[in-house]
Structure 1
Amino acid sequence: MRENIKNSENGRKPQWLRKKLQFGAQKQMDQLLKNVGIHTICQEAKCPNISECFSKKNATFLILGAICTRRCSYCNVATGKPLGVNEKEIEQVTTSVKALELKYVVITSPARDDLKDGGAKQFSLVTKNILKELPNTKVELLIPDFQGNLDSLKLVANSGATVLGHNIETVPRLYKIRKAANYKRSLQVLKKLKALAPKETKTKTALMVGLGESQEEMIEVMKDLREVGCDYLSIGQYLAPSNEYEKVVEYVRPSQFEKYKQIALDMGFEFVHSSPYTRSSYLAHEYVGE
């Protein structure tokens, strides 16, 4: 089997990463979200799946604004001084869920280290409001680390969300790309979420590949994740938003993604999405059988 393709810096991606875009559907969804006044991580992070997901009326809502207090070298979300918490956002998200007739909702946020609770209260209020007005809808939360604050983790763990996610992102050796984050702390976040949430709640994380990690390092991370009880795993190809961000070291072949998936399932993960275009919230409903 041929090795993964090293990034030649000529801007050309391998054939398996040339995805057909659906701009008409994306434009329609962009307008709907603009009318409501809500952000999505799909737009802010320049997700490569955006046109596909928007064509199916799937979106991951970005609460607590679109400005992050951290400057990770792989992420396109703007960095700076965030605005205050928008209380209207609680109803705005619910309105968007109704308009899109969603049965499964993913909610995330930028890191908000400027807030004492890291934004946990807003996550809880948004979730509870959706479940109150749309009791047949399921909510998945993808949270920052809240700097490990136990009270914040308790709030989101008991919000009523079906899935609680926190992304580990990469192997420990490469954690320099995650500014102000800590590998062990992120593991503890997942461990605490599992312990604090109702028994039926699932925990989830995501890993990027193509940054120079080895298969052995990936396997060690998977073992760490199973030790803290993580149920679901997403593995996808890192793609730099522009030349200003962390460079892609290699394009991982689809066969390697399949190998990672089988390794993870053999370790005991309940559900794994592993493919070049997989992202933490991509096809999120499939993890819970929706």
Structure 2
Amino acid sequence: MVTVLDTVLNEPRLRHPEKAHRPDQEVLRKPEWIRVKAPVSRGYQETREIVKTNKLVTVCEEAGCPNIGECWEKKHATFMIMGEICTRACAFCNVATGIPTALDAEEPENVAKAVRQMGLTHVVITSVDRDDLADGGAQHFADVIHAIRRVTPETTIEILTPDFLRKEGALEIVVAARPDVFNHNLETVPSNYLTVRPGARYFHSIRLLQRVKELDPSIFTKSGIMVGLGEERNEVLQLMDDLRSAEVDFMTIGQYLQPTKKHHPVKSFVTPEEFKSYATVGKAKGFLLVASSPLTRSSHHAGDDFAKLRAAREEQLKRISASA
């Protein structure tokens, strides 16, 4: 596993140490269907102030999400815990890579306070990779979940976690905190891992999602990928089968957008029609829900999707009961 702890000891805040040596790539021109408006609304500014006041980090900002204007206008934000420096250097990601700072003991309460101030009925919590921590940050995830439950007990909680690679017992800590949705993204098809996600292991991620269901079948599981990274359609369909073999409930598929010329290039812009086709196939394969569009991201419309997930599970249980 490649981590910056091995390669960046003298550059604790270097933005992209392993991405920086990549030659500049010609950035493909975005088609009309991928364009979004700049964030300027009053709601956006209010959300920005809440995040800043509570000294929080959001993946919306750090990853340069194209939906930030839409989501923040509605006071929806995805909180990124455990700092803004990641211990890995995935070729697609715009989050800073380097040696992380110590965990903020006040962060769980600050996140819970922001959830209350924003009036969130559903919240998404993600994090950077923390390979430097003995448990990969599992206990910190649990602390954030518990803090939100204390402050706004009616809020449903979705987490988007790292893979906790080689962190024995870490997953069990997070699952025991009982989030409503456990999301872990595969990001891309296995043939791309060496160049796109070199610090991760495809089948470890599949097994992680499967293990969540074994530990607590009531938790919804979720995973997502980006397309446009050079994958073949049949690879995406096989990945769907792998996720279903792990009993994953919900899959998201979105267009990869190259953050800078130093990052992995966009190989193609997938058409809206092809995204619709993936959604149709995914539903046929047994997912309770598939969100597939050029601008789909892991936490985009997460609250609405959670309501759809619950409804889909209830309908599934009714069908099973009727056929028994």
Normalising by structure 1, we get a TM-score of 0.94
Give the count of matched residue pairs. 282
Distance 1:209 1:139 in 2: 27
Q: Aligned partner of 1:60: which letter? A: T
Aligned to 1:166: 184
Report how far residue 263 of structure 1 moved. Answer: 0.4
Q: Which residue of 2 aligns with 1:253?
A: 271
Deviation at 1:269, TM superposition (A): 0.2
How many angstroms apart in 2 are the aligned matches of 1:32 and 1:11? 35
Report what 1:196 is aligned to.
Answer: 215
The one of 125, 128, 132 aligned to 1:107? 125
Is it true that 1:52 corresponds to 2:70 in the alignment? yes
Q: One-letter code of the match for 1:44?
A: E
**Aligned-partner Cα distance in 2 for 1:32–1:10:** 34
Deviates more, 1:254-263 or 1:21-30: 21-30
Q: Look up the SS of the partner of 2:169 in the other structure.
A: helix
**Per-residue Cα deviation, 1:46-66 (whole angstroms, up to 9, x for no partner):** 001111100010010000001
CA separation of 1:211/1:258 partners in 2, compared to 1, >3 Å: closer, same or farther? same
* Distance in 2 (alpha carbons) for counterparts of 1:10 and 1:73: 15
1:21 to 2:38 alignment: yes
SS in structure 2 at match of 1:95: helix
Larger Rg: 2
Give the CA deviation at 1:158: 1.7
Equivalent residue number for residue 29 of structure 2: 12
- CA shift for structure 1 position 85: 1.0
| Aligned residues: CA RMSD | 1.3
Kindly state the Cα deviation for residue 162 of structure 1 after the two structures are TM-superposed. 0.4
Q: 2:285 aligns with which of 267, 270, 277?
A: 267
Matching of residues 1-290 of structure 1 within 5 Å: 9=26, 11-24=28-41, 25-176=43-194, 177-197=196-216, 199-289=217-307
Measured after TM superposition, the shift of residue 9 of structure 1 is 3.9
8 Å Cα contact 1:167/1:207 also seen in 2 = yes
CA distance in 2, matches of 1:82, 1:148: 19
Distance 1:222-1:170 versus aligned 2 partners, 3 A rule: same
The runs of 5 or more residues in structure 1 that have no matched partner are 1-7
- Contact 2:83/2:100 (8 A) holds in 1: yes
Q: Structure 2-normalised TM-score? A: 0.85
| CA distance in structure 1 between the partners assigned to 2:164 and 2:227 by the alignment | 25
Q: Deviations over 1:115-162 (max 9, x none)?
A: 000000000010011112211100001000011534110111121210
Mapped partners of 1:263, 1:108: distance in 2: 28
Shift of 1:88: 0.3
Displacement of 1:239 after TM fit? Answer: 0.1
Identical aligned residues as a percent? 42
Q: Which amino acid aligns with 2:279?
A: K
Question: CA separation in 2, counterparts of 1:137 and 1:30?
Answer: 21
Structure 2's unaligned 5+ residue stretches are 1-24, 309-324
- State whether residues 127 and 139 of structure 1, in contact with CA within 8 Å, keep that contact through their aligned partners in structure 2: yes
Q: Which moved more, 1:115-124 or 1:15-24?
A: 15-24
CA contact (8 A) 1:146 1:153 kept: yes
Deviations along 1:229-270, whole A, 9 cap, x unmatched?
A: 111000000001111111000000000000000100000000
For 1:10 and 1:172, the matched residues in 2 are separated by: 24
Does structure 1 conserve the Cα–Cα contact (< 8 Å) formed by 2:126 and 2:160?
yes
Measure how far apart 1:21 and its partner are: 2.6
Task: Determine the C-alpha separation between the residues in 1 that align with 2:188 and 2:95.
Answer: 18
